[in-house]
Structure 1
Amino acid sequence: MAKKNKKAAAVQKPVVTEVAGVKSDLALAALVNEITTPNDTVLKSIGGRYDEYTALLRDDQVKAAFGQRLDAMVAKEIIVEPGGTSPADKKAAEFIKAQLEAINFDAACRKMAHAQFYGYSVAEILWAFDGMQVGIDAIKVRKFDRFRFDGAGRLRLITKTSPKGEFMPDRKFWVSTVETDNDDDPYGLGLAHFLYWPVYLKRNGLRFWAVALEKFGMPTAIGKHHPGASENDVANLLSLLSAIHGQAAVTVPEGQEIKLLEAMRSSGGDHKEFVAYLDAMIAKVIVGQTSTTDSGSWRGTANVHKDVRDEIIKADTDLLCGSFNNGPIRWLTEWNFPGAKPPRVWRVLDDNEDLDNRVKRDKTIYEMGFDPDVEYINSTYGGTWTKRTTPTTVNAPESPQFAERNPDTIDRAIEDELADWQPMMDPVLQPIFDLVEEAASFEEISARLPEIYGDMDVATATDKLQKLTFAVEVATRAGAELDGDD
C-alpha cells in the first residue's frame, strides 16, 4: 500500500517548455539569426521570384475566381463583441468598433486577404495618440515580398542598406500567414503554389491554339523558282511570300513538288476542351468548385457548390480576423483598457433568411390566431410599418319578423364562456407552436404533424365541451318552453 502511494506521489509533472522548436531543427538551428527562405517547392523552381506568382493574377479565370472570393468576404458585416461582461470589456468593444468605423477596414482586409494567394501578407499599423488613448490612424498593407522571417520567426524588412533585413519593432505590424502542415514555416503556402502549372499550361495551350487556328484558317503560300536561282533570288522570293502570308511560306525549285500532309483537327486533341479543363482546375483550386464561376450548372448542384465556396470564405474570414484579434486588437486593449478582455472582431457569414419562407410562416401563425406586433414587422421586413385600421362595418337594420329574442343574455353567455377558452386551448396548441419554431420548412411541418397529436393535452378542453353541450341543450329546451313551442 505504501509503495502505491509513493508511485502516485511521484507522477511526472508536465513539461511546460518548448522541446521541438526551431533550435532543435538541424536545418534551421544555424538560421535562428539569419533570414530563412520559403519551403515552397514551386517558388524555388522559378528562382524564388514572387513576381511570377503575381503574374498569375493576369489570367482571366484566376482574376475572376479569386476576386469573387475576396468580394464575398468583405461583403459580410463586421461585428465587434465584448470579450467579457464587465464594464471595461464593453467599453473596450465600443472603442474598437469606433476605431474600425473611422478607417477603411474593408479595404485593408481585402488587401491582407492576398495572404491566401501568396502565403503571407504584412500591414503596418500607423498608431495615433491623443494624449489619453492609443488609436489606429491607418492600416497600410505593404508589399509582402519586402519582408522576410528569420529562424526565430521574427519579421525583418529587406532594404538596400540591410540585405539581411532590419528587425521590425514589436506591436507595429499585422501579419497574416496561411496555415500549412506545420508551424515551422512562417511564409505559409498560398494558392499561387497550386495555380502556377495550370496557368502555365493554359497560356501555352492558348498560344498553340492560336497557331493551329492560323494553320487551319489560311493556306501555306508556296513560291517556285528556277533550279539555277541564286541564294539571293530565293531569299527575295521567300521575303515576298512572307510579306503576303506572314510566316507560313516556303520556296521550292521549279519542277520539284512538295506535299504536306495536313493534320486533322482531332489528331492533336481539342484545344478548347484542354483550356476549359484547365479553367475548371483553376476554379476548383480557388473556390473549391466551378458552378459559381461558370454558368450552366443544375440548380441543385449549384447550391451545393455555393455551400462549398461559403465554407472556404468562412475559413478565410476566420484566419484574417483571428490574426487581427491576436495582434492589433489585443495590443489596443492592453494599452487602453488594462485588465479588460480583448474584444472579438468577426464577420457575419450566415445568409439572411428567405423572406418568402418567413412570410409563409408568419401567415400560418396568423391564421392560427396570433397577431404579430408592429416592432416585429419593422425589424423583420424593414421600413416603417403601421397597423392598418379596420373600417367599421355598419350592419343593415334587421327585419322585425327575424329579430332575435333576448340577445343580451346570449351575448353575455358567449363572452363568459370565451373568457377562459384560450387557457384551455394552450395545452392543445403548444406542440404545434413548438413544431413551427423548430421546423426548417413547411414540408417538415406537414410530415411531423401526425407525430405530435399524441402530445396534445385535450382532457380539459374535452371536459369543457361536454359541459357546454349539456348547457346548450338545457338552455335550448328551456327557451322552447318559454316560447310555447313543442
Structure 2
Amino acid sequence: MAQLLDQYGKPVRTSDLTRQVSGPTMLGQRPAIITTPIGGLTPATLAALLNAADTGDSLAWLECAEELERRDLHYLGVLNTRKRTIAQLPITVTPASDDDAHKKHADFVSAWLDRGVLEKSLFDMMDAVGKGWSVHEIVWHAEAGNYYPEELAFRPPRFFEVSYQDGETIMLRDDPGCTAPPSAPGGILQEGYTALDPNAFVIHRHPSWSGLTLRAGLTRAVCWALLAKMFTMRDWGVFVQNYGLPARIGRYGPDASEEDRNVMFQALTDFGGALAAMMPKGMDFELVEPKSSGGHELHMLRAEFLNSEISKAVLGQTGTTDSKQGAHASGAIHREVQEDIERADASLLSATISQQIVARMVAFSFGPQDEYPKLRIGRPDEVPLDTLIKVVQFAGPQGLKFPAQPFYDRMGMEAPQEGDSVFGMVAQAQPVQPAHVLPAQDRPAQVMPPRDPNPTPASPQAADQQEITLHTRLGKLLSRHVRADGTHIINLMTQRLARDAEAGLAQMTDAVRAEVEKAGTMAGLEKTLAGMDLPHDQFQQAMQVALMVSELAGEAMVLDEMAANG
C-alpha cells in the first residue's frame, strides 16, 4: 500500500484521519455543560479573567466571552450579521493553471463543495471574530484517491488553550497526565494539554488588530462596553420598577426588637418594591429630587451610546444598524465600509480553507503537487448592473458590441430557446434625418390696420433705407403684379427655393455618409471620396433658379431708380 503524504511531502497515518479526539468528555477537561462565571461580573472580576488569559489560563475568560455574546442582544445581532454575511457568499474554485491535471484537481474540490459540508461550517468558522480563533475537527472520508472531509465538527474554544510560551500555538485540553511539546525555544513540556494534528484540524485565526493569538478577539475590546451596559440596564430596571411609587419610610422605637424590625422591613418592601428605608425614631431622612431635567432618558441615551460604540467595533459603522433622521445621505458610505470588512473577512477565511483543507484533499488524493487550486469566498468583482445597463444604453448605439450571455447570467435568467414564448424587441437604428422644414401654408390675406401712405419715387428716403435686401427686392418685383397678397407670395417663393436647395444638398451628403459608414480605414475612405461623382443635378437647378430670381430683383431695383430720377 502506498504511503499517504500531505501537501509538504510528510507521511501521514490514515488511522489518525479517521478518529475524533477533541470531542466533549463526561469526566475529563472538556465537559459539554458548564456553569458560567458571569453572574457576579464586576470590573475587578473581568480584569482578573483577562489577566489570567494573558498568562495562559483562558478557560474562565472563554466561558465568559461565550456568555457575553449570548446575553447582550445588540452584540449578538451585530456579530451574527458579520458572520452570516460571510456564510452566504458564493464560493468558487480556480485551477492552479490551464493544465489538465490542475483542472481535474479543481473539479475534485468543486464536487466536494457541492456536498455542502463547507457551506454549513462557515458560520462557525467565523466564531473566530469574537474569540480570535476557531477550531474544527475534520472527519475524513479515507479512500485511496478520494480523500475529502465528510464533516467539519465545530469545537468550542474552551476545549483548547493558547500556549503562553509563544502566544500562537493552540493545544487541546486533556487529562493531567498528558503533555504537549514546548511551543518556543527554551520552553518546557506543557502538562494537561495535547498537541493538535495539523491534518485533522482546521484552525482559523481572525485578528481584529495586530498582535498575538493569545490576546486576539473582538470580545476583548467590547467586554468593557458590555459590562457598562449591564450596569446601565440594571439601574434602568430599578428606576422603571419604582417609577411613580411613593418612597416608604418606617420608623421604630427604642424598645423594638430585632424581630419587630424585620417585620417592619418586610412590610415596607412588600408594599411596592425596594424603594423603602427603615430607621429609628428621631433620625432625619430626606429625599432630594435632582434639579436636572430629562433624567428619565439618561439610561436610554447611555445604552444607545454604548450600542453605537459596539457597532463601530464590530461593523465599522452604525448606519446599517441604527436608523436616524437624515442618515440616508451617509448610508452609501456606511455600506462601503461594511463591504470593505466583508472582503477582508472573506479573504482571511479563503486563505485558511485553501491551505488547510483544499491542499490536503488534493495531496491525499493525487499526491503532493507544486501548486494547488485556489478557493475563493466572496462576491465577484463586477460592475453594478445598473451601471452596466447605462453603458449598453449609451455606448451600444455608437457601435460598441456586447455578448448577450453575461447579461442573462447577471440577471439570473436563461437565453430563450427555439419555440419559447418571448417578449421584447430589438431597437432599430434611427437614420439621421435632414433638417425639417415645415411645408408652406396658404393663409388668407390679412386686413392690415390703417397706416401712413406708401412713399412715392419722389419721396425722400432715410439713410438706413438705402440698403435693400434680396427679400425686399423680390417684394418690389412681385408688387408690380400682386398688390393684395404680395408678402404671402414672397414667403412661398423663399420657402420653395430653400426646400429645393436643401433636398439637393441632402442627396450629396447622404452619398458621402454612406461611404463613411462602410469605410474600414481612413486611407480607403480618402480614395473613395476622391473618386465619387456626387448627384448634384437637383442642387444645381435650385441654385440656377435662385440666381435668376436674384437677377430679376436687381433689374426691378434699376427700374425703380430710373423712375425716381425721371
The alignment's TM-score, normalised by the length of structure 1, stands at 0.69
Q: Match for residue 171 of structure 2?
A: 156
Pick closer, same or farther for the CA change 1:41–1:307 going to 2, 3 Å. Answer: farther
The answer to whether structure 1 residue 89 and structure 2 residue 102 are counterparts is yes
| Superposed displacement of residue 377, structure 1 | 4.6
Q: Match for residue 472 of structure 1?
A: 535
Query: Structure 2: how far apart are the matches of 1:217 and 1:293?
Result: 33
Query: Structure 1: how far apart are the matches of 2:516 and 2:248?
Result: 99
Answer whether contact 1:147 1:156 (CA < 8 A) is retained. Answer: yes
Point out the structure with max Rg over C-alpha. Answer: 2
| Superposed displacement of residue 188, structure 1 | 5.3
Q: Deviations over 1:204-242 (max 9, x none)?
A: 111122223344432212345667555544432332222
Answer whether contact 1:103 1:137 (CA < 8 A) is retained. Answer: no
Gaps spanning 5+ residues in structure 2: where?
Answer: 1-46, 179-190, 417-421, 428-506, 550-566
Kindly indicate which of the two structures has a greater share of residues assigned to helix: 1
The answer to whether structure 1 residue 286 and structure 2 residue 314 are counterparts is yes
Other structure's SS at 1:56 match: helix
Pick closer, same or farther for the CA change 1:319–1:366 going to 2, 3 Å. Answer: closer
The answer to whether structure 1 residue 51 and structure 2 residue 63 are counterparts is yes
Query: Structure 2: how far apart are the matches of 1:281 and 1:181?
Result: 17
Other structure's SS at 1:110 match: helix
The answer to whether structure 1 residue 118 and structure 2 residue 213 are counterparts is no
Answer whether contact 1:89 1:340 (CA < 8 A) is retained. Answer: no
The answer to whether structure 1 residue 299 and structure 2 residue 362 are counterparts is no
1:359 partner amino acid:
I
Other structure's SS at 1:166 match: strand
Answer whether contact 1:128 1:134 (CA < 8 A) is retained. Answer: yes
Q: Match for residue 517 of structure 2?
A: 422
1:43 partner amino acid:
L
Other structure's SS at 1:102 match: coil
Answer whether contact 1:177 1:187 (CA < 8 A) is retained. Answer: no
Other structure's SS at 1:379 match: helix
Pick closer, same or farther for the CA change 1:365–1:77 going to 2, 3 Å. Answer: same
The answer to whether structure 1 residue 272 and structure 2 residue 327 are counterparts is no
Q: Match for residue 11 of structure 1?
A: none
Answer whether contact 1:112 1:122 (CA < 8 A) is retained. Answer: yes
Q: Match for residue 21 of structure 2?
A: none
Q: Match for residue 346 of structure 2?
A: 317
Answer whether contact 1:103 1:138 (CA < 8 A) is retained. Answer: no
Pick closer, same or farther for the CA change 1:42–1:282 going to 2, 3 Å. Answer: farther
Other structure's SS at 1:472 match: coil
Pick closer, same or farther for the CA change 1:169–1:251 going to 2, 3 Å. Answer: closer
| Superposed displacement of residue 368, structure 1 | 3.5
| Aligned length, in residue pairs | 392
Answer whether contact 1:120 1:190 (CA < 8 A) is retained. Answer: yes
Pick closer, same or farther for the CA change 1:319–1:372 going to 2, 3 Å. Answer: closer
Query: Structure 2: how far apart are the matches of 1:91 and 1:188?
Result: 41
Q: Deviations over 1:74-97 (max 9, x none)?
A: 221101001222211111111111
Q: Match for residue 408 of structure 2?
A: 378
Match of 1:364 among 382, 394, 418: 394
Answer whether contact 2:128 2:134 (CA < 8 A) is retained. Answer: yes
Other structure's SS at 2:271 match: helix
Query: Structure 2: how far apart are the matches of 1:71 and 1:138?
Result: 20
Q: Match for residue 220 of structure 2?
A: 193
Query: Structure 2: how far apart are the matches of 1:326 and 1:283?
Result: 31
Answer whether contact 2:95 2:102 (CA < 8 A) is retained. Answer: yes
Query: Structure 2: how far apart are the matches of 1:364 and 1:87?
Result: 41
Query: Structure 1: how far apart are the matches of 2:310 and 2:170?
Result: 32
Instruction: Select between 128-137 and 270-279 the one with higher mean Cα deviation.
Output: 128-137
Pick closer, same or farther for the CA change 1:292–1:462 going to 2, 3 Å. Answer: farther
Other structure's SS at 2:371 match: coil
Answer whether contact 1:177 1:188 (CA < 8 A) is retained. Answer: no
| Superposed displacement of residue 382, structure 1 | 3.6
| Superposed displacement of residue 132, structure 1 | 2.8
Other structure's SS at 1:261 match: coil
Pick closer, same or farther for the CA change 1:301–1:196 going to 2, 3 Å. Answer: same
1:331 partner amino acid:
R
| Superposed displacement of residue 107, structure 1 | 2.1
Query: Structure 2: how far apart are the matches of 1:460 and 1:299?
Result: 56
The answer to whether structure 1 residue 62 and structure 2 residue 75 are counterparts is yes
Other structure's SS at 2:65 match: helix
Instruction: Select between 156-165 and 168-177 the one with higher mean Cα deviation.
Output: 156-165
Pick closer, same or farther for the CA change 1:203–1:379 going to 2, 3 Å. Answer: same
Pick closer, same or farther for the CA change 1:336–1:252 going to 2, 3 Å. Answer: closer
Query: Structure 1: how far apart are the matches of 2:74 and 2:66?
Result: 14
Answer whether contact 2:132 2:217 (CA < 8 A) is retained. Answer: yes
| Superposed displacement of residue 267, structure 1 | 9.3
Q: Match for residue 196 of structure 2?
A: 168
Q: Match for residue 93 of structure 2?
A: 80
Q: Deviations over 1:27-68 (max 9, x none)?
A: xxxxxxxxxxxxx99622577311111122121111111111
Match of 1:249 among 276, 280, 295: 276
Answer whether contact 1:283 1:293 (CA < 8 A) is retained. Answer: yes
Q: Match for residue 218 of structure 1?
A: 245
Other structure's SS at 1:160 match: coil
The answer to whether structure 1 residue 333 and structure 2 residue 333 are counterparts is no
Instruction: Select between 255-264 and 332-341 the one with higher mean Cα deviation.
Output: 255-264
Query: Structure 2: how far apart are the matches of 1:108 and 1:80?
Result: 17
Instruction: Select between 318-327 and 155-164 the one with higher mean Cα deviation.
Output: 155-164
Answer whether contact 1:155 1:168 (CA < 8 A) is retained. Answer: yes
| Superposed displacement of residue 362, structure 1 | 1.9
1:71 partner amino acid:
R
Give the RMSD, CA atoms, in angstroms.
4.0
| Superposed displacement of residue 259, structure 1 | 2.6
Query: Structure 1: how far apart are the matches of 2:129 and 2:88?
Result: 17
Q: Deviations over 1:150-196 (max 9, x none)?
A: 5476553212353621233341111112348777x454511011011
2:125 partner amino acid:
M
Percent identity of equivalent pairs? 21
| Superposed displacement of residue 122, structure 1 | 1.0
Answer whether contact 1:123 1:173 (CA < 8 A) is retained. Answer: yes
Answer whether contact 2:508 2:536 (CA < 8 A) is retained. Answer: no
Query: Structure 2: how far apart are the matches of 1:195 and 1:42?
Result: 14
Q: Match for residue 159 of structure 2?
A: 146
Other structure's SS at 2:161 match: strand
Instruction: Select between 374-383 and 186-195 the one with higher mean Cα deviation.
Output: 374-383
Q: Specify which structure has the bigger relative contact order, considering alpha-carbon pairs within 8 angstroms and separated by 6 or more residues.
A: 1
The answer to whether structure 1 residue 235 and structure 2 residue 262 are counterparts is yes
Pick closer, same or farther for the CA change 1:234–1:313 going to 2, 3 Å. Answer: same
Gaps spanning 5+ residues in structure 1: where?
Answer: 1-39, 392-411, 428-456
